[in-house]
Amino acid sequence: MTSYLSKKMQGKTPYQPIEGSFPVRMDANESPYGLPDALKAEFAEAVVNLEFNRYPDPASLSLRKAFAGRYGVDPEHVVAGNGSDELINLIMTALLDKGDRLAVALPEFSMYAFYAELSENTVCFCPKTEHYALADLSAFVKKNGCRAVILSNPCNPTGQGFARGEVMEFVRSTPALCILDEAYMDFWTESVLDLADKEPNLIVLRTLSKAYGSAGIRVGFATGTPELIRALHVARSPYNVNSLSQWLGTRILESADLTNRGPELARAAQTMRERLIGLMPHATVWPTRTNFVFIRTDKASFVFEQLLSRGIAVRCFGSDHLRISVSTPEDNGKLYEALGEIGKDIEL
Q: With 80 as the cut, is the pLDDT of residue 2 above it?
A: no
CA angle 213, 216, 218 (to 5 degrees): 100
What is the percent of the chain with per-residue pLDDT over 90, rounded to a whole number? 92
* For range 42-59, the mean pLDDT: 94
Where in the chain are all domains bearing CATH 3.40.640.10?
37-258
Q: What ranges in 83-163 are assigned the alpha helix state H?
A: 83-95, 111-118, 134-143
Specify the CATH number for 13-33+261-345; select among 3.30.1150.10, 3.90.1150.10, 3.40.50.800, 3.40.718.10: 3.90.1150.10
* For range 72-100, the mean pLDDT: 97
Instruction: Encode pLDDT of 171-222 as tens digits.
Output: 999 999 999 999 999 999 999 999 999 999 999 999 999 999 999 999 999 9
Whole-number Å distance between alpha carbons of 270 and 326: 10
Q: With 90 as the cut, is the pLDDT of residue 129 above it?
A: no
Structural contact between residues 84 and 61, judged by C-beta atoms closer than 8 angstroms? no
Instruction: Encode pLDDT of 305-346 as tens digits.
Output: 999 999 999 999 988 999 999 999 999 999 999 999 999 989
* For range 85-94, the mean pLDDT: 97
Distances (CA, A) of 6 to 2, 100, 110, 118, 333: 11, 19, 21, 10, 48
Q: With 90 as the cut, is the pLDDT of residue 125 above it?
A: yes
CB neighbour list of residue 139: distance below 8 Å, 6 or more residues apart: none
- The pLDDT confidence band at residue 10, using thresholds 50, 70 and 90, is confident
Whole-number Å distance between alpha carbons of 199 and 223: 11
What are the two backbone dihedrals, phi and then psi, of residue 282, each rounded to the nearest 5 degrees?
Answer: -95, 0
Distances (CA, A) of 77 to 163, 254, 281: 24, 19, 47
Q: With 80 as the cut, is the pLDDT of residue 16 above it?
A: no
- The pLDDT confidence band at residue 71, using thresholds 50, 70 and 90, is very high
Topology of the domain comprising 37-258: Aspartate Aminotransferase; domain 2 (3.40.640)
- What pLDDT, on the 0 to 100 scale, is given for residue 13? 84
Beta strands in 182-236 (DSSP E): 202-207, 220-223
Q: With 80 as the cut, is the pLDDT of residue 130 above it?
A: no
